[in-house]
Structure 1
Amino acid sequence: MVSAFDKTFKLGVLLSFIDWFTFNVVFLLYSLYIGLNTSNEFFVDILISNIAYFIALQIVTISLHHRQAQPAKVLSNTSRTSAIFIVLYAAILGMAGYSVPGFYYSAVITLIVFLATSIERLLLRTYIKHKRSVGRNRVNTIILGTGQMEQKIADVMTNVWNGYNLLGYFIKTDADSMDNKATDEKVPYLGEECDIIPFVEKNHVDELYIGVMPDKLKEYKALMRLCENNMIRTYYVPTISYGEFRNAKVKEFGDIYVMSQYSEPLKELRNRIKKRVFDVIVSLLFICTLFPIIFIIVAIIPKITMPGPLFFKQKRTGYDGKDFVCYKFRSMKVNKDSDKVQAVKDDPRVTKWGLFMRHTNIDELPQFINVLKGNMSIVGPRPHMLAHTDYYSQLISDYMIRHYVKPGITGWAQTHGERGETKTVYDMKRRVEKDIWYIEHWSFWLDIQIILKTVSDAIHGDDKAY
């Protein structure tokens, strides 16, 4: 039987071929469009471009078929591949004695290659996710352990889009584990630790996830030998519950390897500069073009519908836990509870025009001023009222981690179902989980993905925008 690893490898080869074909089509069409002088020059150009693109693909591999690969990751790799390609293409042409393309030509061909391969890769990613959802290209997995971390592993695997086929779980052979036996009916209970070897011998398993320390070393070594002989990949699930949301990184430490608790891409200076430059450019463009028009409209209607100031200013918790004044277009009647009570569904304080602004995110637009001032970023965890920070930081251990980066006008949590009122502590905990995920997985293209999703939500409306 062909292993899941081998199937994934073959899929990667097929996708590379499709990617190479897409690249050649767009490069050929553009070369014909600009018109090269001789057939010999045309042949050399095509040959060198293919060599450059092949090398670029070896440096930045295609990731669209990787399970749980986000569109942002796909676009990030595509942009890097396109940039490396044009550099190699120009360098090889120069070394071969041919004229090096100018800035305009290089910029245009890079953009064309990026757009074409991005569309192709995103379409292929959607197709692969669909195939996995109907049972194709699946990975058979089993889990040893039933703790909180193992449950999170199971949650990922039971999402059909990720392409896993979770056969079930085993528990550690002791009384305590029996008490912690998972109750999720979607995940079959397969037995105790001692039942794993007979199960693996009789069933096709691709991956084993271990979340508990086995009792008997001899049986554990026998299980590892069985996995190795049957090409079963083995993964270890951290048991430190405090690190449950961390994107841990392994690094070499002398003769051993140690694992950091979490990663933080925006600690790197180049990433912070990249994010800040993007924030400033986009904010200036918006404030100098669309904002004046929106401002005039918003300034007129509230004067008629709700007397009071145009702007709503409120102190909120920002970067590094420091307070700042957040700007919004006022969407409520003036009231004394605005600094303590969240907006709820059918809130009598919200006017009809205010409800429209909240539904379309118009009320948030003055925060581009906060972005220019450096208090906020376009994308990041949403800033909370000071009262909420005081309250939830005492109840949720990871709450303050969301302030490791600047708060945003929009964020990963808000575009993934965690917008609006938090009725329970668990609601806020889910939001904090997604905020921390964003902090640990930040990339330029993830920000672009979130911005596009925000625009889409504003056009189609959000049920939680009240």
Structure 2
Amino acid sequence: MTTKTLQNISVDSIAYRNGRFSGFIRPISYFVDLSLIILAASNFFKESFDLLTYSIFIGICWVIVSMQLDFYRIRRNTKFTTLLNRLAKQSVFFAFVVFAFFGYYYELNRESAFIFNYIAATVSGISILKIGLFFILKNYRSALGGNFRNIAILGKNKDTQQLYDFFTTHTDLGYRSKDLVNVGTPSFSLAEFKQWVIEEKIDEIFCSVQELNNDQLLELTDFADNNLRTLKFIPDTETILSKQLRYDYYGLTPVLSLREIPLDDMAHKFTKRAFDILFSLFIIIGVMSWLTPLIAIIIKIESKGPVFFKQNRNGLDYREFICFKFRSMVPNDTAHLHQVKRGDHRITKIGRFLRKTSIDELPQFFNVLLGDMSVVGPRPHMVSHTHMYAERIDKFMVRHFVKPGITGLAQVSGYRGEVETEEDIKGRVRNDIYYIENWNIALDFRIIFKTIVNMFQGEEKAY
């Protein structure tokens, strides 16, 4: 990756991530649906009814069930029949939850048909809104050209032509493709194609695997990862169907996706953000409120300089942010360039203790509260190191698909601290990519628990 490409990553990746989907559609849908459920309950059940308890109970159940059934995971290529199927399943579970609530908390002196009427009215209202939004978005894409993605189809054969024709006729999906890129011509250059993708702000690349050799596929995969583009493969339909692989259908054409990122789901993103806010407030109020003054006094007594150390680092979508730490070194001009090494003379006595126990990282909970970081995620690097590793280490840029964390899977797996060998940074990237592709809230809890254990046990590379 060239320096010029690196300089353009920030702008291109932000445009790409913001253009992938309307991030507000899902949370607004949650809010509207739950508001309708609660409003209908307040009108149907006016006598001796604890609306607050019901709202909390039904809200939690609705969110959990909807996440399990992918009720709000409606994509561009989702069929109308799939939407109806999810509506039916969600409605059945909603009915069970409502009857469970009244059966446990109340003995109603009215016929059960009254509750059925409430369920029917609520489900009908949500169904109308859901189906309406489904067709509004389709018309918004086809008639007004909004909510679109720029795509490139690499390869010219029967399958790619079929896909191109499908996107051309189904403008409601919001995919814009200029033409098929013929790989078989002598004039084709993969390097020129990659440059064209950046210049034309292509969001997704649909690649026919039978058109490129292994080296070209690997090069294209690395390019997509390092430049935060979505790469999807069009398999050889004569051989791929014999394998049990997950893929989407666009018309009659099967398309493989390179990777699924759970935190692209707005519900998952909301869950993680809510946890980050609550956990960071707990640490800031419960721990830092009394610990910070003590540490500040000790830091000031030992050496001159500020209590807090601020450093630019790269975060989500490669954007730079100011990362906070307790100062653990004497003020020096190389702090932003050279990583701390074993026996580093720049570290103060109190700084050695702070780094050993990871207490120096506590101010980063303010970064979490501000939204620049998460409690758990890939650790952010100094800007100078990020540029260096992005050029040397394959798939390093994938780490920027999610917010950086105070702790992470790599750190609790033996890859914290100084990067002494190239295997250290490669191991860190492997763990970070695994975390990104396999995130769930339980994994975050396990990493936090292991981090706390390591703080008390001590770590060899904590210096």
Name the TM-score, length of structure 1 as normaliser.
0.49
